[in-house]
Chains A and B, each alone.
Chain A
Amino acid sequence: MVAILQSPGLPGQADFHAAISSHSDRWLAACLKITRNRDMAEDAVQDALLNAWNKRHQFDNSARLDTWIHRIAINAALQILRKNRPSAFEPIEADIADESDTPERMRAEQELGTTLAAALTHLSEIERVCFVLKHLEQWRLKEIADEINSDVGAVKQAIFRAVRKLRVRMKGLQGE
């Protein structure tokens, strides 16, 4: 077995293994909601782990390692999404009604597998990302805007549209 590497004050291998065992399902779920694609989400977590290890001297010991990796994983997922779908964060000026069940959407619903996840597949990329980061990850509007190279106004509009669509769709799904 590989020897355990541990320096005083730094999270070591054992800490990382413990965090992976106890929280990787949460990291993967968060990344999956951002990317809507399991392979991309798994790659994001993998990248996050390696980044976190390489930057572990920057880790604040008063914080929780799993929370820190969670944040890095979200950033990795956003990066991967941006790389794979360069137009993902372009602002949309108006509501776009899209009720079609495309193969991609059906596959994403199957992968995400929950009522909320199914509803999220009916949002545009920017609406979904802004909503997930605000509502589920509790990021500040300014943080979201900075992360997706946009402005707070565009983020607000994306969230308003997302909430409008989700309220309608969640009611419909819960009623089915």
Chain B
Amino acid sequence: MNDDTLILYYYNDGLTKRERQQVESAIRSDSALAAHYEALCRELDDISEPDLQAVPSHTLQRWHDSIDRVAQQEQFRQRKPAGSFSLISFGWGAAITAALALGIGIGVYLPNDDPVTSVPAVQIANVDPGGETVVPAAFTRGVKVHLQDTQQDLANLSLDASADRIMLILQIIDQNRLFERAAEQNNSQSLARVLRAFEPILLRLAADDIAPEDAEALRAQLAFELKVMLTKLSRDTSNDRQST
């Protein structure tokens, strides 16, 4: 009887009832086989769950925040009476949709700096077998437009506790998620993570009961982070141009 059969017997899976009975009777009647099986069991038992490493606190916080965010979105949708129409919300929604369409449009369709070739639509592309990727320049420009729009929206944001303010921020979060997914599809995990990192701050800014001074501080923090990100993206784009 070979080890493969004994392994399946150990896992109690992958053998028919008849095959299991055959293994049992073989082990009972053959002391050498029984000893061999015991040794195998010991070895397999020793392959156990390693000690757990603690999750970094910022990661843990991100997961907690993500639950708060989806819960708040759900709550907001439930609270909003069906059929109600707010001209302000509609205006913001239309503006955001237009900005998103523009952002994606630029990301997808803007021609490359290369005058001969055109940039293909955003898609899973430029993946090499080693996992290193090149983010299409047009996609980076689309992200820049998105971040600039967000910067502008936040600068103009009224910090009172109106439903429109919350609605706008939740729309920014949704929009951010679209770009985050697009970044993942372009295999730019680092860019996706940066975009994701904006979410907890936006979520806190969307809280019902945030104090005006806290809201202002969060807005300033976001403005700073967005500026840093935009500078970095501009620098990367510039470096890419120089290197080509």
Chain A interface residues (CB < 8 Å from chain B): 1-5, 13, 16-17, 20-21, 24-26, 28-29, 39-40, 42-43, 45-46, 49-50, 53-54, 84-85, 112-117, 134-136, 140-141, 152, 156, 159-160, 163-164, 166-167, 170
Contacts and interface: CB of A to CB of B under 8 A. Distances in A.
Contacts of A53: 67, 70-71
Given A45-B63, A50-B66, 4 more contacts: A50-B70, A85-B131, A116-B49, A156-B4
B49 A136 contact: yes
A114 B63 contact: no
B51 interface: yes
Contacts of B50: 29, 112-117
A49 B47 contact: no
A135 to B, nearest CB: 6
Interface of B: 3-4, 7-8, 11, 13-14, 43-44, 46-55, 59-60, 62-64, 66-68, 70-72, 74-75, 131, 187, 189, 193, 196, 203, 207-209
Contacts of B71: 2, 4-5, 13, 53
Nearest to A115: B50
Contacts of A4: 71
A82 B13 CA distance: 25
B55 A24 contact: yes
Contacts of A40: 189
A166 B47 contact: yes
A132 to B, nearest CB: 10
Contact of B44 (A16, A21, A84, A163): A163
A24 B63 contact: yes
Contacts of A21: 60
Contact of B13 (A29, A43, A140): A140
Contact of A1 (B13, B187, B207): B207
Which DSSP category, helix, strand, loop or mixed, fits chain B's interface?
helix
User: Which of A2, A50, A114, A166 has the largest number of chain B CB atoms within 10 A?
Assistant: A2
Nearest to A159: B7
Contact of A152 (B14, B196, B209): B14
10 contacts: A2-B71, A2-B207, A13-B68, A28-B53, A53-B67, A85-B131, A112-B50, A116-B49, A159-B7, A164-B3
Given A20-B64, A46-B63, A135-B44, A84 B72 contact: no
Contacts of B189: 39-40, 43
Top 5 nearest A-B pairs (CB, nearest first) are A114-B50, A5-B71, A2-B68, A25-B52, A16-B67
A39 B66 CA distance: 16
B14 A141 contact: yes
A29 B53 contact: yes
Contacts of B49: 29, 116, 136
A29 B54 CA distance: 9
Contacts of A84: 131, 187
A26 B51 CA distance: 10
B16 to A, nearest CB: 12
